Copies of this chain bind each other. A is one copy, B any other.
């Protein structure tokens, strides 16, 4: 964290900053209408730039996705400790936090699938989610374990991937109720 009066990294050119902003807006809009798998060319057209400009600012699709959703993910990260402090029980906090995570995922068409993809282009995406969310989930799990509310043999990584997987295809079929399945999973976590 530099507190100097001037940035050590030289400021980017005005058009570069303008394009980056335009790309983020265009990508966000494109993700809503066509999912995170929307063709790169479509995003470029929306933003009024060439495809080369996209790759210069965001080398992989994962970088673009992370940039678009960073704020929401961070909000989810910060909600963890807050829920733990406010909820009646650690298990309730865990359930509510997972609900938040599900809320986030099911509204981003194709994101849950991209998260589990073994495509190299999505490695950064996977890493970012793991890096930010696993510690929070770990904290919630630890608290619930300490309160003797859940089994001890489930780790945060596995749980988050499981929940993420259950969010794949949400909304594609009215008979597939993501939330009920997640609820089932969390219920299975309880000690009996």
List the B side residues contacting A189 at CB < 8 Å: 184, 188
A158 part of interface (Cβ distance < 8 Å): yes
Given contacts A184-B188, A185-B185, A188-B185, contact A158 B175 (CB under 8 A): yes
Given contacts A187-B188, A188-B186, A188-B188, contact A181 B158 (CB under 8 A): yes
A79 part of interface (Cβ distance < 8 Å): no
The main secondary structure of chain A at its interface with chain B is helix
A85 part of interface (Cβ distance < 8 Å): no
A55 part of interface (Cβ distance < 8 Å): no
Q: Give residues 1-24 of A contacting B (CB, 8 Å).
A: none
From A59-67, A68-76, A161-169, the one touching the partner chain is A161-169
List the B side residues contacting A181 at CB < 8 Å: 158-159, 162, 185
Q: When the two chains form the complex, which single residue of B153, B154, B168 contacts A168, counting CB atoms closer than 8 Å? A: B168
Q: How far is the CA of A113 from the CA of B110 in the complex (A)?
A: 12
List the B side residues contacting A154 at CB < 8 Å: 180, 184
List the B side residues contacting A162 at CB < 8 Å: 166, 181, 184
List the B side residues contacting A188 at CB < 8 Å: 183-189
From A113, A169, A172, residue with most partner B Cβ within 10 Å: A169
Q: List 30 A-B contacts (CB under 8 A).
A: A113-B113, A113-B116, A116-B168, A116-B169, A118-B169, A153-B180, A154-B184, A155-B175, A157-B175, A157-B176, A158-B177, A158-B180, A158-B181, A159-B181, A162-B166, A162-B181, A165-B165, A165-B166, A165-B168, A166-B166, A168-B168, A181-B185, A183-B188, A184-B188, A184-B189, A185-B185, A185-B188, A187-B187, A187-B188, A188-B189
